[in-house]
Amino acid sequence: SNKSVSDAPIVQFTNCRILRSHQLQREDLWVRQGKILNPEKLFFDEKGSADIQLDCKDSIIAPGFIDVQINGGFGVDFSLATDDFKSGIDLVSQKILSHGVTSFCPTLVTSPPSVYHQVLPQLSIRNGGAHGAGILGAHLEGPFISKEKKGAHPEHCLRTFEAGAFQDLLATYGSLDCVRIVTLAPEMKRSSEVIQELTQRGICVSLGHSVANLAQAEEAVQHGATFITHLFNAMLPFHHRDPGIVGLLTSDKIPMISDGIHTNPAALRIAHRAHPKGMVLVTDAIAGMGLAPGRHTLGQQVVVIDGLNTYIAGTKTLSGSVATMDTCVRHFQEATGCSVETALEAASLHPAQLLGIEHKKGTLNYDSDADFLMLNDDLYVQATYIAGEEVWRQDALGM
């Protein structure tokens, strides 16, 4: 090993159960320079040992949560074009550390082109740290979605693909530089060529807000779509003769999404049992997450928070959620009766696989980023670490 690496302090986390290879294992976790270290190499190749030992008091250590669909929180709405957009995103990235989120995809709901043109250039992909969770790139949900299944998206902003198809999408968004996920309705004319073009650029295509039948959904998968946005919500209900997008549950290729509030526990159990390795938990949180009930925004719309439900003002249309990621994980485990390991991987490993970053994030494998959480047996977050540094601890708040 070169000198600069061997001089960096090595931290050994002891007395813990580490989530590794889909199992909680009673092992120590070794960290150096922001990466998970292989202790065998350290002992045998470098003859090294730990500089600092930390007793984890029998905590669970799991990879940091990755939220690939979050519209805002704590009074900040990512779909509102403001000059201080950056300070809003900084606030959210700081606040979600206490909920175990170490990286996320800020999500914009259907908006006029002017909003995308103003907001997206202010968004930059960055590593996490004491300043907040890392930003993996934007998730653009709409405006190329179905009127019939628009959900909380404003109808006057919805668009279809015209003659230019992909050029129409580029003109709407202005830039795809920091975009990681696009949600669209696959039944739209010319959507196949758009899906192919996005996929070739390394952008994940998710199917949602759609009246697609199963054949249209499968065709989208063949062209590169790999995800379903909030499964069971804003799509045709399951029908035995044409199961629609929900029918993709039985396909090996497709991961899926569930946010714990929108979906009945029985539906969560069906999804989990049909495709346990593909469940991806998201919060779909809106600006009102972390705030008192009342009126808040979601892009162009006013929403009302009533308990754990959020509706478009004056309607019973659900619009995002106010659930935090740690709440979603606990709810998922409770509703499905799945193992602790499965619940934790649905918020860490699976979203990392979806984005193709599982070699760096979403696991505690050797050489991956040391983004991890300490949790108690009831899956409440006790401390959050990014790149091996403690960025949030429960005791620090006198709790």
Catalytically active residues, by annotation: 284
Say how far apart CA 276 and CA 296 lie, in whole Å: 34
Answer yes or no: do 289 and 382 share one domain.
no
Q: What is the pLDDT of residue 38?
A: 93
Q: How many folded domains does the chain comprise?
A: 2
Q: What is the pLDDT of residue 3?
A: 44
Answer yes or no: do 30 and 145 share one domain.
no
Say how far apart CA 297 and CA 308 lie, in whole Å: 16
Answer yes or no: do 339 and 373 share one domain.
no
Say how far apart CA 63 and CA 121 lie, in whole Å: 30
> Residue 238 belongs to a domain with what CATH number?
3.20.20.140
Angle at 145 between CA 353 and CA 252, to 5 degrees: 30
Annotated binding site for Zn(2+): 141, 209, 230
Answer yes or no: do 130 and 145 share one domain.
yes
Angle at 208 between CA 206 and CA 212, to 5 degrees: 110
Q: Is the dihedral of CA 263, 266, 268, 271 positive or negative?
A: negative
92 falls within a domain: yes
Q: Which pLDDT tens digits describe the chain residue by residue (399 residues)?
A: 444 456 789 999 999 999 999 999 999 999 999 999 999 988 888 888 899 999 999 999 999 999 999 999 999 999 999 888 999 999 999 999 999 999 999 999 999 999 999 999 999 999 999 999 999 999 999 999 999 988 888 899 999 998 889 999 999 999 999 999 999 999 999 999 999 999 999 999 999 999 999 899 999 999 999 888 877 777 877 787 888 888 887 765 555 555 554 667 887 888 888 888 888 999 988 898 988 888 888 888 888 888 777 888 888 877 778 889 999 999 999 989 999 999 999 999 999 999 999 999 999 999 999 999 999 999 999 999 999 999 999 985 544
5 falls within a domain: no
Answer yes or no: do 135 and 217 share one domain.
yes
Q: What is the pLDDT of residue 2?
A: 43
Angle at 253 between CA 230 and CA 206, to 5 degrees: 35
Backbone angles phi, psi at 170, to 5 degrees: -60, -40
262 falls within a domain: yes
1 falls within a domain: no
Say how far apart CA 33 and CA 262 lie, in whole Å: 40
191 falls within a domain: yes
Answer yes or no: do 57 and 68 share one domain.
no
Answer yes or no: do 34 and 111 share one domain.
no
Answer yes or no: do 250 and 374 share one domain.
no
Q: What is the pLDDT of residue 1?
A: 41
- This prediction has a pTM of 0.94
Residue 182, burial from CB neighbour count under 10 angstroms (0-12, 13-18, 19+)? buried
Answer yes or no: do 293 and 347 share one domain.
yes
Answer yes or no: do 14 and 103 share one domain.
no
Answer yes or no: do 171 and 303 share one domain.
yes
68 falls within a domain: yes
Q: What is the pLDDT of residue 267?
A: 79
CB within 8 A of 28, min separation 6: which ones?
12, 13, 14, 16, 39
CB within 8 A of 7, min separation 6: which ones?
none
> Residue 372 belongs to a domain with what CATH number?
2.30.40.10
132 falls within a domain: yes
Q: Count of alpha carbons within 13 Å of 74, Cβ hemisphere only?
A: 14
Q: What is the DSSP letter of 93?
A: H
44 falls within a domain: yes
Annotated binding site: 141, 152, 209, 230, 233-234, 241, 262, 318-320
Q: What is the pLDDT of residue 298?
A: 86
Q: What is the pLDDT of residue 11?
A: 96
Annotated binding site for substrate: 152, 233-234, 241, 262, 318-320
Domain span including residue 351: 64-355
Q: What is the pLDDT of residue 313?
A: 85
Answer yes or no: do 143 and 158 share one domain.
yes
Question: Hey, how many other C-beta atoms are within 10 angstroms of the C-beta on 103?
Answer: 32
Ranges of beta strands (E only) in 282-388 are 294-298, 301-306, 309-312, 372-375, 381-386
Query: Is the preceding omega at residue 143 within 30 degrees of 0, hence cis?
Result: yes
